[in-house]
Amino acid sequence: MKFQDKVTRTVKTALFLLTVMVSCLVLQHYFLRNMDHNSLRVDGFYQEQRDSLDAVFIGASDMYTSFMPGRAYEQYGFTSYLLASESITSEGVKTAVKEVVRTQHPGIIVIEANAFLYADDKNDANQAHIHKFFDNLPLSFNKLEYIQKHVPVDEKWEYVFPLMKYHGLWTEYPERFYMMASNLSLDVRGYNYLKGFRTTAQVYNAKKECLNSQLSSETGELDLDPKLEAQLMDLLDYCDRQNLNVVFVRAPHYVTKDTYDRVKRSNRMAKIVNERGYSYYTLENDAVRIGIDEKHDFYNEDHMNIYGALKFTDYLSEKIMYREGLETDALSEAAAENWKEVVTATNQLYRYCDDIMTNKKGARGAQEDVVTLATLGEYSGAPIQTK
């Protein structure tokens, strides 16, 4: 075979392999991935300009349904993002903190305590919850370190190439189409309108007695699960080494007799964290002081609705600004215009949810997807007063 023919064949083979690889990456990003509000939220974090955030909030649904970055910017002037994922594990929290250190240098990192307050460590072994967060992380040393240390050998490639696990998702339409369109829209736009916030438009019709009114005087403690406490200590050690400004928070819940032990474990965690020199805001215990109405401000036992989230955001923002002394960075003209859009979308979302709940149109999820965003233009983006 002539040398020229060999070169031609080599080039064609290389182009073919490159085409296959690019096609697989496109399939993985838009089709063969378990896309949902978690993937949109995590993807959006990595679209934030490097070192552009004053605060990053980390946690599970307790965080992304409770804090509204658009509201915080409008009322208190600091930029923030919710790097949170449904039922995130303690390992997920540690990796999220490491990713913040790698990509942003915020003035403060706020961690919701839920991942460390389970009665046992079963959530840390829940494969669905692990994949919801780690599948959406870009390849980095932090992700590879987790895979190397904690994923069985025969499953490692599923975390690097999720299409190996989710090839069966072809059949999930039209839901898959909507999420694919949402992901494409996010990529084209280049930023997340809601900065990770997600809620459900519903007022919880409680059947169980709410015990929130007695939590302000609750000082009892229960030990953390030993494995989760070890994870917490490891996280605190990392924060020490990196000299991070980290605060911990426990968001309000509709506390009943069945969930009361979590309050006592939270009190124990607060003691551990405080002894290590970090702030811990037991805002679950302060629900009444915040003004959270048990009959109005939740959409289920574990999550506040938009009414509760607005109150919580104002209360926690004041703690961050005035007690923790967060200093904000000046924004460029383009970034300031971007955040005006975030504020408008957040206020429109509030009125969208308020309309659904006030007129009893049935429970609906409200998040960064094309279906929700297409509806927001019908509502005013003017500032919101607490309701």
Per-residue pLDDT of the chain (387 residues; tens, 9 = 90+): 565 656 566 656 656 555 544 444 444 555 555 678 898 999 999 999 999 999 999 999 999 999 999 999 999 999 999 999 999 999 999 999 999 999 999 999 999 999 999 999 999 999 989 989 998 899 899 999 999 999 888 788 777 766 545 544 445 555 666 667 777 788 788 889 999 999 999 999 998 999 999 999 999 999 999 999 999 999 999 999 999 999 999 999 999 999 999 999 999 999 999 999 999 999 999 999 999 999 999 999 999 999 999 999 999 999 999 999 999 999 999 999 999 999 999 999 999 999 999 999 999 999 998 889 999 999 999 999 875
| Residue whose structure tokens are 């971007």 | 338
Pair of tokens at residue 250 = 């426990």
Q: For the chain, list the strands marked E by DSSP.
A: 55-59, 80-84, 108-112, 199-201, 246-249, 279-281, 298-300, 303-304, 364-366
For the whole model, what pTM was predicted? 0.89
| Angle between helices 175-189 and 3-30 in degrees, nearest 10 | 110
Count Cβ neighbours within 10 Å for each residue of 294-311 and write b for 16 or more, e otherwise.
beebbbbebbbbbbbbbb
pLDDT computed for residue 18 by the predictor: 58
pLDDT at 176: 63
Contacts of 254 by beta carbon, 8 Å cutoff, 6+ apart: 204, 206, 210, 212, 294, 298, 300, 301, 302
Q: Which CATH architecture has domain 31-376?
A: 3-Layer(aba) Sandwich (3.40)
Q: Cis omega before residue 174 (within 30°)? A: yes
Instruction: Spell out the residues 6+ positions from residue 356 whose beta carbon is closer than 8 angstroms to its own.
Output: 201, 202, 362, 363, 364
Domain ranges of the chain: 31-376
Q: In the numeric block, which tokens belong to residue 129?
A: 């919850």
Work out the number of other CB atoms within 10 angstroms of the CB of residue 240. 13
CA angle (321 as vertex; 315, 323 as ends), nearest 5: 85
* 3-state class percentages of the chain: helix first, strand second, coil last, to nearest 5: 55, 10, 35
d(CA 90, CA 110): 14
pLDDT at 168 (0 to 100): 47
